[in-house]
Structure 1
Amino acid sequence: MEYIESIRNEQIKNAVKLQTKKYQIKENAYFLEGPHLINEAVAAGVPLQQLLITENHEDDHVVKQYYDNSWVIADNVAKHLAATETNQGMFAIAPIPTMTLPEQISGGWLLLDAVQDPGNVGTMIRTADAAGYAGVIIGTGTAWPFNPKVVRAMQGSQFHLRLVQMPLADAIAQFQAAQAPVYGTLVNQDAVDYRTVKPTGTFGLVIGNEGNGMNPELAKETTANLVIPLPGKAESLNAAIAAGVLMFQMV
């Protein structure tokens, strides 16, 4: 394997660029950091395009599988690539998957309406994975799912469910065409207690922006809008926490 010892190496420069949305879209690829995410990708059958490893990972089974596309990097290069202070010496470039809805919708789907915080988006995707959802639809204004902060928060869940990017109004229309209910989360006089909703096989659940909530225009198109009663004194729940409560109720 070739040894890379300079951060000015073109492959290293390209790897750094793949931590930005503009370059990710151009190359249709994104950056993975750490053995856990890389092993999750391999287990899911994702064809990694490149591995960058420090010497202590040369005998790793993943490296043996991708030997022809692996490069050994110096410790200073690994430090340069890492988003965390204590890097684990293993990095990869993975393809961005197809981000469209399947022709036949089935299972539970989480729809994110302008959820801006990368940590929240990653946590919600990970929770949807844990709850057995089929996919997550990234609406307009929602954090890009391959932002490094989102990728860290997802912890590999992007390999277990389908990520879709599209306007939520179009997504809701497709659910309606499939006669599948879509539940919103806008608190108004018509909102119903989430505990009264009975799970169905195929459905959508919309979570709105952290500060402004769900777009009222989208709420007009939903089957029902849900509310979580708060018996305590807190005014509201964190968006990711609320999403988790609702997601597990629905399955």
Structure 2
Amino acid sequence: MISKREKRKILSLHTKKGRQKWNLFIGEGSRWLKTAYELGHRPIKIFVSQNFRRSAFWETYLVGEEERICIISDQEFQEISTTQHPEGVLGIFPFQKTWFSDFISQKKEIFPLIVLNEVQDPGNLGTLIRTAFCFDFPTILLDPLTADPFQPKAARASLGTLLGVNLVFSKDLQKDLEKLLSLGGVLYLTNPCQGKAVDSIEREPKGILLFGNEGRGIEKNLFSLPHSSLHIPMSPKAESLNITASAAIILFCFARKSKLI
């Protein structure tokens, strides 16, 4: 059984204010948690519905985790779930926001990296994180107007891979890009009609791939920075691709040329 106090705390993690207060977020579903465990991340608390106890996931991952597990009724689980039709398992995970200035000072490997400019749909954001992970891009820089990656829909769409990349937060994207360029970074901006075809990208280990807002694209002031434009050749009958499809194509081409995969 879950206490009223604990239930209130979990429900607060459905909101940005609650996540910021507790520095915690929710990862839900067996596939999500499987990814987390395989990446070496264990939840601080696991909530499991009565029906889920009979699952193969329980036998594989949760045996021995009894001190972290709280078994609750199916109705109680429905009340704390982030989905309409829950599977019956969710984990509570800690997070710590890493700001760009701190990331640079840590002297970690910076390049190549992905930059997101006003990507506002949480589902798109989570899918972009998952795509970056799949093509072995270690770092994603998010500007202040990009959605919260720890929001339930974004976290769910990432399928747990947000735990396998460096999520770095920018307070001033143009200033931070200028810093990256001063460190030898090579900036690529996606442009539907101009620049190099994406399949002609040369190997660039210090590449910075920037993707913009779903409707408006990249902020115009960012085109003032030294950059190369990229476009995806497509049928003249088509107007455009959505951001997740575009990013998948570009990241695949870049990763293949840069031998990331």
Deviation string 1:12-37 (CA, Å, 9 cap, x unpaired) is 12111111111111111101111221
Partner Cα distance (2:93, 2:114) in 1? 24
| Residue 122 in structure 1 maps to residue 126 in structure 2 | yes
Given that 2:113 and 2:208 are in contact with CA atoms closer than 8 Å, whether structure 1 keeps it comes out as yes
**Which residue identity is paired with 1:186?**
N
C-alpha displacement of 1:249: 1.2
C-alpha displacement of 1:44: 1.9
Secondary structure at the counterpart of residue 205 of structure 1? strand
Given that 2:110 and 2:139 are in contact with CA atoms closer than 8 Å, whether structure 1 keeps it comes out as no
Q: 1:212 aligns with which of 207, 213, 216?
A: 216
| Residue 149 in structure 1 maps to residue 153 in structure 2 | yes
| Residue 40 in structure 1 maps to residue 40 in structure 2 | no
5+ residue gaps, structure 2: 256-261
Deviation string 1:205-230 (CA, Å, 9 cap, x unpaired) is 00011111101111221421212232
Matches within 5 A, 1:30-179: 30-55=25-50, 56-57=52-53, 60=59, 62-100=61-99, 101-102=103-104, 103-166=107-170, 167-179=172-184
Matches within 5 A, 1:222-233: 222-233=226-237
Partner Cα distance (1:175, 1:43) in 2? 31
TM-score w.r.t. the length of structure 2 is 0.85
Look up the match of 1:181.
Answer: 186
C-alpha displacement of 1:174: 3.0
C-alpha displacement of 1:60: 4.0
Partner Cα distance (2:108, 2:179) in 1? 10
Partner Cα distance (1:184, 1:222) in 2? 10
Given that 1:207 and 1:243 are in contact with CA atoms closer than 8 Å, whether structure 2 keeps it comes out as yes
Distance 1:91 1:137, change over 3 A: same
C-alpha displacement of 1:46: 2.0
Secondary structure at the counterpart of residue 176 of structure 1? helix
Partner Cα distance (1:187, 1:222) in 2? 18
Given that 1:121 and 1:143 are in contact with CA atoms closer than 8 Å, whether structure 2 keeps it comes out as yes
Given that 1:51 and 1:63 are in contact with CA atoms closer than 8 Å, whether structure 2 keeps it comes out as no
Q: Which has the higher helix share?
A: 2
Distance 1:222 1:76, change over 3 A: farther
Q: Name which of structure 1's ranges 215-224 and 233-242 shifts more when overlaid on structure 2.
A: 215-224
Runs of 4+ displaced beyond 6 Å = none
Identity %: 26
**Which residue identity is paired with 1:249?**
C
> For this pair of structures, how many residues does the alignment match?
245
TM-score w.r.t. the length of structure 1 is 0.89
Partner Cα distance (1:165, 1:195) in 2? 29
